């Protein structure tokens, strides 16, 4: 389980996270949602140790982040973090070189599934293709947790469908997923937990099952209630 | 440790093309320079012989001595040698400054990928420190190989009785700039390159301060660099009652301390404070 307890973060004098606490269990999809600039990406980066926090604790299965944790937790940013000159093959090599839990067979399958050319360069890829490669680099790792930042942002409908289909496939089965998105509608039925943020604070968090059964509402209904009031 | 070698390999690969270009440029420009200087020597000899009405090269030698590549490059402080080396130094300084920034370009830069490699972040730092150093030493090796070749080429263009050949160390000593780059004593070599490495570590500390605290970090980096330079130059301002070797040892000591402190700070920033 990934657990955030009273996490605080400032950029200069601006507070971006004030006392954020939530738990994201393994084998469940947790969605962080909120308007732009509410701190969703900062939470993911904080979990991954890509930006320091100024208070609180973050633990992964009870332990603070350590460099060995990167074998168990993988981050998919909203843009592919690879140099523009690198080819798909180079990206796969890089991952295979540095991660012991890299699964080359799965990487090969996904390369075919996403129709990626091994000699295509990152810099010349469309946003959709880059998003697929980005996802591939995470899915081909046997990691326990996957953090995804806006996986549907700015990509075409077909790529979006292909990426959405991954969430219901065995590729994410058994993993804990935390994703940030505005576009909840398309994957609403797959979500287990939702954490709603506003101005660096959690305004509401709930299990989707509870909302559906107890209140007969969809996640989008709850979002409307929270953000339109 | 394996991660370090892989990261070093990655960084070196990114420098291979610039290295090949620099090596070819150094060799080509210096060889052309040797050719041009040989022609110049030949023409000058003919002019002198005509002006002074000398019948043979032997007479020219008796009056004016023998020509050597080492003397020619010393007298001219050959731009054919200095210019390509200067260009390489300019490129490498630029590279050292941007080696970190290059990986911070974009919202989710390659640096975020590097920081998520399941190994100590120290490896990233040392890979970025050693890759340019390897290229620098490889360029020095190229220079050491090219210098005797251009010396031979120069000599091959002149009549035997007109020239004299000097060993490599004499060629290196001919240009003070070259002598600083390739010191002839091991102690001097360690001192010069130790100073250079310490300067790179201070530069990297400045960059990491800026990357960690942005505008405030930039201010901190400038203050840090100025303070480091000021402290490092204190021995140079000491009076004449200090022996030269005492000043040199003090300078080496201070630079070692600054280098070690900067290294510690860089590694701390990379581990705890860096923001991508």
Q: Which residues of chain B does A100 touch, with a Cβ-Cβ cutoff of 8 Å?
A: 118
Which ranges of chain A have pLDDT less than 50?
none
DSSP letter, residue A169: S
- B272: nearest CA in chain A? A52
Among B108, B274, B275, select the one facing A78 at the smallest CB separation. B108
Tell me if A98 and B119 make a contact (CB, 8 A cut-off): yes
Residue pair B212/B275 in contact by the 8 Å Cβ criterion = yes
DSSP letter, residue A172: S
Tell me if A77 and B107 make a contact (CB, 8 A cut-off): yes
Q: Residue B110: its pLDDT value, please? A: 93
Among B112, B272, B273, select the one facing A77 at the smallest CB separation. B112
Tell me if A75 and B112 make a contact (CB, 8 A cut-off): yes
Tell me if A98 and B108 make a contact (CB, 8 A cut-off): no
Q: Phi and psi for B242 in degrees, rounded to 5?
A: -100, 135
Q: Tell whether B109 lies on the interface with A, counting CB pairs under 8 A.
A: yes
CB count, 10 Å around CB of A112?
Answer: 9
Q: Which residues of chain B does A48 touch, with a Cβ-Cβ cutoff of 8 Å?
A: 112, 116
Residue pair B61/B162 in contact by the 8 Å Cβ criterion = yes
Q: Tell whether B122 lies on the interface with A, counting CB pairs under 8 A.
A: no
Chain A residues interacting with chain B (CB cutoff of 8 angstroms):
12, 45, 48-52, 67-71, 74-75, 77-83, 94, 97-100, 149
Q: Which residues of chain A does B10 touch, with a Cβ-Cβ cutoff of 8 Å?
A: 94
Kindly state the helix (H) or strand (E) to which residue A146 belongs, with its residue range. strand A145-149
Tell me if A48 and B6 make a contact (CB, 8 A cut-off): no
- Tokens matching residue B64: 């004016």
CB count, 10 Å around CB of A205?
Answer: 15
What is the model's pTM?
Answer: 0.90
Among B6, B103, B116, select the one facing A97 at the smallest CB separation. B6
Q: Residue B108: its pLDDT value, please? A: 66
Mean pLDDT by 10 residues, chain B (276 residues): 91 96 97 93 88 81 83 86 95 94 83 95 96 96 95 90 86 89 92 95 97 94 96 89 90 96 97 92
For A2-84+142-228, CATH number out of 3.60.15.10, 3.20.20.80, 3.40.50.300, 3.40.1080.10 equals 3.40.50.300
Among A50, A68, A79, select the one facing B115 at the smallest CB separation. A50
Separation between Cα atoms, residue B272 and residue A5, nearest integer Å? 19
Task: Find the angle CA(A115)-CA(A118)-CA(A122) to the nearest 5 degrees.
Answer: 90
Kindly state the helix (H) or strand (E) to which residue B32 belongs, with its residue range. helix B2-51
Q: Tell whether B120 lies on the interface with A, counting CB pairs under 8 A.
A: yes
Separation between Cα atoms, residue B90 and residue B101, nearest integer Å? 17
Tell me if B275 and A12 make a contact (CB, 8 A cut-off): no
Return all residues near A106 (Cβ < 8 A) that are at least 6 apart. A139, A140, A171
Separation between Cα atoms, residue A134 and residue A150, nearest integer Å? 12
Best A37, A50, A73, A146 member to test B by mutation, with max B CBs in 10 Å, is: A50
Q: Residue A144: its pLDDT value, please? A: 95
Q: Tell whether B13 lies on the interface with A, counting CB pairs under 8 A.
A: no
């Amino acid at each position: 389980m990934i657990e955030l307890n009273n996490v605080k973060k400032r950029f200069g004098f601006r507070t971006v996270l004030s006392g954020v606490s939530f738990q994201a269990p393994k084998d469940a999809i947790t969605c962080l949602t909120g308007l732009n600039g509410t701190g969703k990406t900062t939470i993911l980066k904080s979990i991954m140790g890509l930006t320091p926090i100024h208070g609180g604790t973050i633990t992964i299965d009870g332990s603070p982040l350590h460099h060995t944790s990167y074998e168990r937790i993988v981050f998919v940013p909203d843009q592919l973090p690879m140099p523009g000159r690198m080819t798909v093959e180079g990206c796969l090599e890089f991952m295979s070189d540095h991660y012991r839990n890299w699964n080359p067979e799965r990487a090969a399958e996904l390369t075919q599934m996403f129709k990626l050319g091994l000699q295509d360069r990152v810099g010349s890829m469309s946003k959709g293709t880059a998003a697929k490669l980005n996802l591939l680099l995470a899915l081909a790792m046997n990691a326990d947790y996957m953090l995804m930042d806006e996986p549907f942002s700015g990509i075409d409908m077909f790529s979006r469908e292909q990426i959405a289909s991954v969430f219901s496939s065995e590729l994410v089965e058994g993993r804990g997923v935390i994703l940030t998105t505005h576009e909840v509608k398309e994957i609403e039925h797959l979500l287990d937990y939702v954490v709603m943020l506003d101005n660096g604070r959690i305004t509401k968090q709930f299990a989707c099952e509870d909302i559906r059964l107890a209140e007969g509402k969809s996640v989008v209904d709850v979002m409307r209630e929270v953000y339109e009031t | 440790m394996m991660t370090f070698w892989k990261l070093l390999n990655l960084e070196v690969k990114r420098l291979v093309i610039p290295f090949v270009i620099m090596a070819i440029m150094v060799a080509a420009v210096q060889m052309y320079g040797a050719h041009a200087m040989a022609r110049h020597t030949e023409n000058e000899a003919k002019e002198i012989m005509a002006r002074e009405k000398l019948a043979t090269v032997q007479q020219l030698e008796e009056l004016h001595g023998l020509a050597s590549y080492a003397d020619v490059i010393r007298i001219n402080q050959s731009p054919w040698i200095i210019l390509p080396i200067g260009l390489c130094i300019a490129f490498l300084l630029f590279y050292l400054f941007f080696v970190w920034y290059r990986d911070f370009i974009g919202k989710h830069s390659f640096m975020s990928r590097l920081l998520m490699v399941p190994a100590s972040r120290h490896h990233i730092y040392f890979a970025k420190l050693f890759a340019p150093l390897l290229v620098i030493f490889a360029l020095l090796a190229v220079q050491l190989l090219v210098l005797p070749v251009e010396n031979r080429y120069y000599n091959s263009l002149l009549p035997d009785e007109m020239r004299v050949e000097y060993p490599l160390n004499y060629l290196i000593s001919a240009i003070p700039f070259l002598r600083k780059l390739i010191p002839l004593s091991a102690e001097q070599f360690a001192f010069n390159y130790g100073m250079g490495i310490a300067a790179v570590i201070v530069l990297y500390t400045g960059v990491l301060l800026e990357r960690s605290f942005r505008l405030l970090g930039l201010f901190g980096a400038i203050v840090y660099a100025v303070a480091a330079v000021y402290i490092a130059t204190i021995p140079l301002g000491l009076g004449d009652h200090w022996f030269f070797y005492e000043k040199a040892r003090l300078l080496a000591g201070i630079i070692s301390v600054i280098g070690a402190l900067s290294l510690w700070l860089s590694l701390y920033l990379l581990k705890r404070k860096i923001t991508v």
